[in-house]
Amino acid sequence: MFAPSRWCPAGSSRTYKKSQVDTFKTICRLDGAHMNQLRTLSLALCSTLAGVAPVAVIAEEQKEGFIEGSTLTVLNRNFYMNRDHRNGESSPTGSGYSEAWAQGIIGRFQSGFTQGTFGVGVDAFAMIGIKLDTGDGRNGGRSAFDVLPVDGEGNARDEYTKVGGSLKARAFNTVVNVGDVFPSTPVVAFGDSRLLPESFRGVTAINNSISGLTLQGGRLHAMSQPVSSNLRDGFVTFYGGAVDSPWVAYFGGDYQATDALSLGLYTSRLKDAWDQKYASAAYVLPLSDDLALTGSLNYYNATDEGKKLLGEFDNDIWSAKVALQYGAHTLSLSHQRNEGDDDFDYLRQSDSIYLANSIQYSDFNSPKERSWMVTYNLDMSTFGVPGLSFMTRYGKGTDADYSNANNTYMRRDAQGNPLTDQKRWERDIEAKYIVQTGSLKDLSLRVRQATTRATAFESDLDEVRVIVEYPLSVL
């Protein structure tokens, strides 16, 4: 099941005329042949997904049933990214520079449920990623760039696809999905920071029986990286690499205790690798009509499990954040600490690291690392430009120490000694605009720039991402 907020901006669920679909031309400047290809692919995806609906036409006679509750959307995503590794982690040609430009078309169908106490339905998706430009040695084939899939020589493929789906059932305020799923929790979460989203295969359940409380659980036996067409890949972690684990399971919930206070509690197990526990709290204190103070705490504990495929470890990592919002302006300060002897690890390219100082490139999660970050956000709607926003932040980490790291996470200097007293900083700048009205309503443009500098344990790099998205609601 998809998380709608990650796919389309709020308020984007509306029907577009064919003339409006044609305005997708503004997303990127392509020649006519490319535009015809993309338009044909968009329509093909819609046709493929729409073909799912007739399997339960028997439910059509009841309102809010399988057919009436169905949605079919297509997200057109144009994605450009470059990463200049100023020192080390070079590309296949040794240039130390990665660059890619690609077009993604992400179609998804979500049916309603058949009527009755026990309802059934189906979700399906079809996605395609198309290479627009990336030269020899510039596609990041041997780094964490992950914009396009590459062959054994590091050459980017011209296109790739993902097609999948899940069966779902609803009863007693509980929805169960079986198949290809998109969990979104602090301990297991699909990633959507590249051209196409990550997915998992298995069983998930969400329950909303108690007002203000959302419970989630699941057991997953495969994952699909953003650059993979295979929906049955094994598990891979960011810092430990591939791990021969048969499944990952999770359970927990979020509780809106009051209008001001929210709480979270989760646990997960990556079989034979780790057990993770997570807790969070957030509070909003209005001080006046224009002024509010917010605070949040996030905490993880990670320990080795079973066969200890990633070695022995026992990590505690936490972050605390306070923010002051005055009208269009928000200024926040956060602090984060890893009390353990190893990197705090999580599934590769996933979003399952809900820590205040996990940002565009850096996570500030190395052993013993302490980090501070200051962030400023500006909402231009207050100044008569709704949909336009800006953000900048600066984070600095110190005291990273690998002296007691296990063999999986150990990092050494050229002489073979564990790295100690490591430091880094990152500065991010971001601008985003969402069209509010007209035929291009909900078209968004987002520009993200990151600069990071570090001692021996991390790379120095400059990075730019430009993301243009245009959501279409077909049903």
pLDDT digits (tens, 9 = 90+) for 83-139: 988 765 544 445 578 899 999 999 999 999 999 999 999 999 999 999 999 866 666
Residue 27 has pLDDT above 90, yes or no: no
Distance of CA 6 to CAs 75, 109, 337, 366, 422, Å? 11, 15, 28, 28, 35
pLDDT band at 71 (very low <50, low <70, confident <90, very high): very high
Query: Where does residue 375 rank: exposed (0-12), middle (13-18), buried (19+ CB within 10 A)?
Result: buried
* Residue pLDDT, tens place only, 353-405: 999 999 999 999 999 999 999 999 999 999 999 999 999 999 999 999 999 99
Residue 331 has pLDDT above 50, yes or no: yes
Strands (DSSP E) found in 88-142: 97-110, 119-133
Query: What is the b/e burial string over 249-278, where b = at least 16 CB atoms within 10 angstroms of the residue's CB?
Result: bbbbbbbeeeeeebbbebbbbbbbbbbbbb
Domains of the chain listed by start with CATH number? 4-473 (2.40.160.10)
pLDDT at 453: 95
Query: Above pLDDT 70, what percent of the chain?
Result: 83
DSSP reduced 3-state for 390: strand
Top pLDDT among 231 and 14 is at 231
Residue 317 has pLDDT above 60, yes or no: yes
Residue 3 has pLDDT above 80, yes or no: no
* Residue pLDDT, tens place only, 409-453: 999 999 999 999 999 999 999 999 999 999 999 999 999 999 999
* Residue pLDDT, tens place only, 144-202: 788 999 887 778 899 999 999 999 999 999 999 999 999 999 999 999 999 999 999 99
Return contacts of 255-264, CB within 8 angstroms, 24+ apart.
Answer: 255/212, 255/213, 255/214, 256/212, 256/213, 257/212, 259/284, 260/284, 260/285, 260/286, 264/186
Residue 302 CB partners (closer than 8 Å, separation 6+): 274, 275, 276, 277, 313, 314, 315, 317, 340, 344, 345
Residue 132 CB partners (closer than 8 Å, separation 6+): 28, 30, 34, 101, 102, 103
Tokens 């998809």 locate to 2
pLDDT at 218: 99
pLDDT at 467: 99
pLDDT at 167: 99
AA letter at 43 = L
Give how far the C-alpha of residue 458 lies from the chain's centroid of Cα atoms, to the nearest Å: 22
pLDDT at 44: 53
Average pLDDT over residues 3-20: 38
Q: What is the average pLDDT value for the chain, to the nearest integer?
A: 88
What pTM value is reported for the model?
0.85
